[in-house]
A and B are shown apart, each in its own frame.
Chain A
């Protein structure tokens, strides 16, 4: 080779370079801000006390107290009941919301956008925050948990439902209109059969999520296994906490498995 020909440098437009530098500086600033201003008492975290905590907590956490199992199972059942009641209510309530937010059914763009916004806003409130408010309003107990689960789930289910509705085959509806069917008839014969399997599938999926969500509600007094968790961790009975964790892992895994299997069959 007589002379090395190096490939030309890539050409980038100046705006792109400026943009990339801007993004870089922005990200860097964000991280510097986050890491420099977060208050972590490192001295306390890496202290004798933490080591003592590890010695006290970890071995017990991994040797669950099986004499505690029956009580845990009872509370876990309550968690499942809360999740089921809440999901069921949400699955029904989300239907009108879903239709309201579907652009091919609700042709009024203003109302339609409003419907979508309501559902989006609803999803922003974590169920445990809703539960906290209900505990204050109507007193502690599973009912507060059910309400929180139901209201929060409507947000996600309504959105998913509306997407299902928007993807249906409108030709069928058109054909029925041409047949002289009225709106109610079209709804039951043209639309529902197209959306029911997906609605069901999403409702079951939501139940799966709600089991997980309702297992923490007890922490703020809204019923279920979280109630026990707070008591056990406050009393530093880590072998009981271990049992609670074990039960949650097993139940959630089993429910996930069954739910996935059912959903595969439906759709």
Chain B
């Protein structure tokens, strides 16, 4: 369980990233955070694995305040909390396998990882993860030879290899075309269901949020302005969250039911 207790974050330049956020996210939930860019979605997500450090309040992950974590504790937290990025963040010149196995780094000693001495189980796990996103045949391809959608699937495999209990996804489909976006979201949903991994996704496409989320949290200027089950949400709610009428850009579209479902 993740709990934000009166959490605020002010960046060194004075920007308020989060403002008195109070929220509880339960185990196994699929939460989508919506809001315009600059609303604090990214700060919200990155606080959970301490890629940014909130300046005030408490943030509990499994009943422990993570704001005081340093060094080893911090790395242990990050092993438990996986992250997926808008730009996939793969090492382009490395192979798919090397990228995926890097999910095990937090579990592997420095020397072992530098000499590429991974346990057989780790290698098997990485391969299994690739299979789960149906990209195992690209095992030894270089990451930059893959399409955007394939790269994002590799980054999902990397997170799976980490065996996390929480997955954070920061605008995972913003750089993808509509059909590929749906494919990626379906994989995220699938691992959320199968492994009971708490999944928190930043999106700004309202149709995708409504389709995949169990629960939607709306943010504006660092504050939570909406929190409720996806079933209670309609376009009106979004107009309230965004503080403006819905535009075409806010809808991803491209939902194609004939597409192969993962």
Contact = CB atoms under 8 A, between A and B. Distances in A.
Determine direct contact between A and B, CB below 8 Å: yes
Interface of A: 1, 4-8, 10-11
> Which size class do B's interface residues fall under?
10 to 19
A10 B140 contact: yes
Interface in B86-129: 97, 120-121, 123-124, 126-128
A5 B130 CA distance: 12
Contacts of B97: 7
Contacts of A6: 120, 123-124, 127
B28 to A, nearest CB: 21
Contacts of A4: 120-121, 124
A6 B120 CA distance: 7
Contacts of A5: 124, 127-128, 131
A201 to B, nearest CB: 33
11 contacts: A4-B124, A5-B124, A5-B127, A6-B124, A6-B127, A7-B123, A7-B127, A7-B139, A8-B139, A10-B139, A10-B140
Contacts of A8: 139
A1 B97 CA distance: 21
Interface of B: 97, 120-121, 123-124, 126-128, 130-131, 136, 139-140
B204 to A, nearest CB: 37
Contacts of A10: 139-140
Nearest to A4: B124
B90 to A, nearest CB: 18
Nearest to B121: A4
A13 to B, nearest CB: 13
A103 B136 CA distance: 49
A88 to B, nearest CB: 45
A4 B127 CA distance: 10
9 A-B pairs with least C-beta separation:
A7-B127, A4-B124, A10-B140, A6-B124, A5-B124, A6-B123, A7-B139, A7-B123, A5-B127
